[in-house]
């Protein structure tokens, strides 16, 4: 059986091409502030697959928080930078 490539990412770009494809480009950020992240992999899927994946990922992360008894904390300014509302979007 062939080995499955494994990557580490600390950045993601999400692109939706209506109506067919969601593309997630995972990248690795540089330590230099002026450089763009270096892409390591792009995963393409249907919008339906992306929605199910998002729902399953949310379920697993909520379970992790419940079982560990500790929420996954994010910096407050990150929410505003990304246009997220902590209690509404999570």
Per-residue pLDDT tens over the stretch 27-36: 998 776 657 8
What is the extent of the structural domain holding 52?
47-90
Q: Which pLDDT belongs to residue 86?
A: 84
Check whether residue 10 and residue 28 sit in a common domain.
yes
Check whether residue 52 and residue 37 sit in a common domain.
no
Q: How far is CA 18 from CA 39, 47, 66, 83, in A?
A: 23, 9, 36, 22
**Rg, C-alpha atoms of the chain:** 16
Whether the pTM exceeds 0.85: the reply is no
Check whether residue 66 and residue 40 sit in a common domain.
no
Check whether residue 1 and residue 41 sit in a common domain.
yes
d(CA 20, CA 62): 29
pLDDT at residue 18 greater than cutoff 90 = no
What is the domain count for the chain? 2
Check whether residue 51 and residue 41 sit in a common domain.
no
Per-residue pLDDT tens over the stretch 39-57: 999 999 999 999 999 999 9
Check whether residue 34 and residue 11 sit in a common domain.
yes
What is the phi/psi pair of residue 59, to 5°? -60, -45
Q: Which pLDDT belongs to residue 53?
A: 97
d(CA 60, CA 53): 11
Residue 12: CA count within 13 A, CB half-sphere = 12
Check whether residue 62 and residue 79 sit in a common domain.
yes
Per-residue pLDDT tens over the stretch 66-86: 999 999 999 989 888 989 988
Check whether residue 69 and residue 32 sit in a common domain.
no
What is the phi/psi pair of residue 4, to 5°? -90, 130
């Amino acid at each position: 059986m062939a080995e499955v490539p494994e990557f580490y990412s600390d950045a993601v770009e999400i692109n939706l091409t209506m109506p067919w494809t969601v593309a997630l480009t995972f990248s690795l950020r540089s330590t230099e502030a002026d450089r763009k992240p270096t892409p390591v992999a792009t995963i393409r899927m249907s919008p339906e697959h992306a929605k199910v994946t998002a729902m399953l990922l949310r379920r697993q992360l909520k379970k992790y928080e419940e079982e560990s008894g500790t929420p996954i904390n994010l910096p407050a300014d990150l929410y505003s930078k990304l246009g997220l509302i902590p209690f509404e979007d999570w």
